[in-house]
Amino acid sequence: MQNEAIDHKIPLEVGGQLKRWKTMGLKSVALSGGEPLLYPNIKNLVRSLKQADLEVSLITNGDLLMTNSKILGLIDTLALTIISIRPEIHSYLRGGQSLYEIANLLKKFETSPRRLQVNTIVSRFNLGELEQIGEYIFTSFNIAAWCLIKFLDNFGTPSMKHKAELEISEADFLMATEKIKKKFPQKYIYCSLPSNSPVNLTYVEPNGIVISRKCSSNMYTNLGSILSQFESITQKIEELYSNQHRNIFTVGD
């Protein structure tokens, strides 16, 4: 997969503002992307979040993990993606990434104190092999959680090239994931939110722009900059979430 260097740093004030949201009930921060390890000062951001006693997850394609190994001592959860146990399908949908590279990373870090999570984007390509994927990851690695994510048309490249081939219905996704939960009752398996969910998600981009996503309509709203409009954004988020548990996703493109 392509990893082009990003020439700007995440303002550390973003971490400071996220710490202020802890008083609103913020408990966890997921660093996603794009690829979060491309940002030069990502480790400093993680340190500031951990100093606020926030749980930090790193969602990465794994390509830069070995050269950024120090960050692994700071995070709570490391999440890697396995699309298929058929190497050619995994590579096809992950821009040429090798399934064996991901397997080697999961094996290398399975004895570390951080939790390991596998994410699987569910589509027509792997809908019929979810049971085999589950058998593979739970018997081969020390996995704490498996997250099943329904393919969405906003995942971006390379998935968008195969949109017509990948899309599945909400009903098919729910039926398949319920079957998987029954197959592995002792394992922690959770799923992406259904399209009719009333829940709102909040994303903080590297430049501090806050985006709210309403799951029921898949609509995105720019709430402003966390760096200059913190108080007004906080009020908007309080109105959106009321008493919901909040997950703030940062370092997203």
Q: How high is the pLDDT of residue 207?
A: 75
Instruction: Please say if the pLDDT value at position 78 is more than 70.
Output: yes
- Do residue 80 and residue 178 come from a single domain? yes
- Do residue 186 and residue 80 come from a single domain? yes
Which domain-ending residue is among 192, 216, 242?
192
Q: How high is the pLDDT of residue 215?
A: 64
Residue range 37-41: mean pLDDT, rounded:
83
214 membership: H or E segment, kind and range:
strand 209-214
Using 50, 70 and 90 to split pLDDT, how confident is the model at 7? very low
Domain count, the chain: 2
Tens-place pLDDT, residues 171-194: 999 999 999 999 999 999 988 765
- Do residue 106 and residue 152 come from a single domain? yes
Q: How high is the pLDDT of residue 105?
A: 94
Instruction: Please say if the pLDDT value at position 219 is more than 50.
Output: yes
Strands, E assignment, 73-182: 77-81, 115-122, 145-150
Q: What domain range includes position 57?
A: 1-75+199-253
Q: How high is the pLDDT of residue 12?
A: 65
Contact 199, 156 (CB under 8 A): no
Instruction: Please say if the pLDDT value at position 6 is more than 70.
Output: no
How does the average pLDDT of the chain come out, rounded?
Answer: 81
Top-confidence residue, 7 or 220: 220
Using DSSP, state whether 104 is helix, strand or coil: helix
Which domain-ending residue is among 192, 220, 237?
192
Question: How many contiguous H segments (helices) and E segments (strands) does the chain have?
Answer: 8, 10
Percent of the chain exceeding pLDDT 70 equals: 81
Tens-place pLDDT, residues 80-111: 999 999 999 999 888 889 999 999 999 998 88
- Least reliable range by pLDDT among 119-133, 146-160, 215-229: 146-160
Tens-place pLDDT, residues 66-76: 888 888 889 99
- Do residue 1 and residue 71 come from a single domain? yes
Which domain-ending residue is among 170, 192, 214?
192
Residue range 110-131: mean pLDDT, rounded:
91
Sign of CA dihedral 79, 241, 149, 182: positive
